[in-house]
Amino acid sequence: MLLNWIATAPRRILALITAACVGLLAFGLYLQYVVGLEPCPMCIVQRYALIGVAVTTALASANGRAGWWKGWGALALLVAGFGAFVAARQSWLQWYPPEVATCGRDFYGMIENYPISRAIPMIFRGSGDCTAVDWRFLGGSIANWSFVWFVAFSLVLLALLLRGGAQRLPR
């Protein structure tokens, strides 16, 4: 039933993914500015991945031509997969924190002060901030829930790309 809906309403699904990403970003900003939780470097990378998924799915749903939406949909799938990877890495760091956890540089400090070839490994190595679990919902941390959402986006996008084939997207 769900696969049939994916095949018959792909533009709506792409718009729904865009709306979900915007909602998740809004919730992240709420946690930062209202609740007072500061995002770690990996959280910021996950936010950029959410922005990437939102923009690419919005562009994919904007035009009904098969080549257009399939290209943007494939890019959205790659970005969602990258977001899932970052969230999984952060979840791993939270479950198995390094023995020496330091509060390393912030994301922008790493990007500004180090060449990109050194900054990227530093981000994924994590810091003391990345291992902290400041908020939970139904037993899962923010990184765990980010992973769930990115995997859900990836699965829906994959089903859409495989099921949608060469069809023109209906309005």
Any domain includes 170: no
Quote the pLDDT of residue 151: 95
User: Which residue is associated with the tokens 């990258």?
Assistant: 82
Quote the pLDDT of residue 28: 87
Q: Can you read off the two tokens belonging to residue 128?
A: 């003391």
Cβ contact 151:84 at 8 Å: yes
Structural domain containing residue 70? 2-164
CATH code at 97?
Answer: 1.20.1550.10
Quote the pLDDT of residue 126: 46
Any domain includes 44: yes
State which amino acid sits at residue 131: T
Model pLDDT for residues 158-170, shown as the tens digit of each residue: 988 887 654 554 4
State which amino acid sits at residue 89: R
**DSSP per-residue string spanning 35-52:** I-PPPPHHHHHHHHHHHH
Average pLDDT of every residue of the chain = 76
Q: Can you read off the two tokens belonging to residue 21?
A: 């990403």
Quote the pLDDT of residue 13: 85
Quote the pLDDT of residue 60: 83
Model pLDDT for residues 79-97, shown as the tens digit of each residue: 999 999 988 887 877 766 6
Any domain includes 23: yes
Quote the pLDDT of residue 78: 92
Model pLDDT for residues 116-143, shown as the tens digit of each residue: 666 666 655 544 476 666 765 676 777 8
Any domain includes 26: yes
Any domain includes 137: yes
Any domain includes 169: no
Any domain includes 171: no
Number of domains in the chain: 1
Q: What is the CA radius of gyration of the chain?
A: 17
Any domain includes 100: yes
Which has more confidence, 134 or 57?
Answer: 57
